[in-house]
Every structure is written in structure tokens, then in C-alpha cells.
Amino acid sequence: MKWVIIESYSMPYEAQIAKSLLTSQGIPATIENEHTINMYWFYSNALGGVKVLVPEDYLERAKFIISNDYSADVEEKFSLQKEKCPSCGGLNLLAHTQGRRTAFIFLILIGLPISRYKHGMKCQDCGYFY
């Protein structure tokens, strides 16, 4: 059985993800140069990266699996953002500290950050802070 390179990655974790994807689909896969690049990551370009190899019989099917983008499926199934703005229901939320600017001005003027501030979330759509 002849093994062929299907893809080359800069970092070992990328190759592990590809190998896991292939093996989950029943395609045998192995990784080359993983431990060398784990120890000496700056050799990655010189060695041609971390290579994922599959048997030649599985080459076309493996290329098809690797070329597909599964990020939309992952985002749909494991949506990380479930929190919505209580005011408008928007999803465009950012961590925000209210009163930070006032504390900074006091720090510059008198050397003490005298101000009340609160940590929370701010909706970028409607400006609501909670």
C-alpha cells in the first residue's frame, strides 16, 4: 500500500484536525513531521510542514472531504453566542466597561482613578448597556 500526501499544514494541530476528520469518515490517515515541528516549530517551512498522508486508493475521497468547509455546520450545531440584547434582541454584543473614560480623566488630572465604573455588555445595535 502506497501512502500519498494529501495536504501539508504549518502547525501540528491543523494536521490533527484533518486526520481526525478523515478517520471519522473511515479513511486511514497518518501524519508526518508532527513531533519534529512540535519541538522545533521554526523548522516547519524547511521541512515542508506537517504532512497528512492517506493510502493512494483513498486519495480522491480524502481530497473531497478535506476541501469541504464545515464551519457553518459547526456554528449551527454549537452556536457559541446565545445571549441576546434584552432591549432589541440583537446579537451584536461586546464586553464594555461603563465609566472607564471618567476614571481615566481623573487619573490624568489628579493621579487617582476616582470614579464609579461597571463591567457589563453593550449592544452595538441599540447602545443598551447591562
81-102: per-residue pLDDT in tens? 567 888 888 888 888 877 777 7
**What is the greatest pairwise CA distance in the chain?**
76
Please write the tens of the pLDDT for every residue from 34-47. 999 989 888 888 98
Name which of 54, 42, 49 is nearest 12 in CA terms.
49
C-alpha of 28 from chain center? 26
C-beta of residue 81 within 8 angstroms of C-beta of residue 124: no
- Lookup: cell for 114: 476616582
pTM of the model as a whole: 0.57
Alpha-carbon gap, residue 121 to 123, rounded angstroms: 7
- Lookup: cell for 33: 513531521
Alpha-carbon gap, residue 77 to 96, rounded angstroms: 28
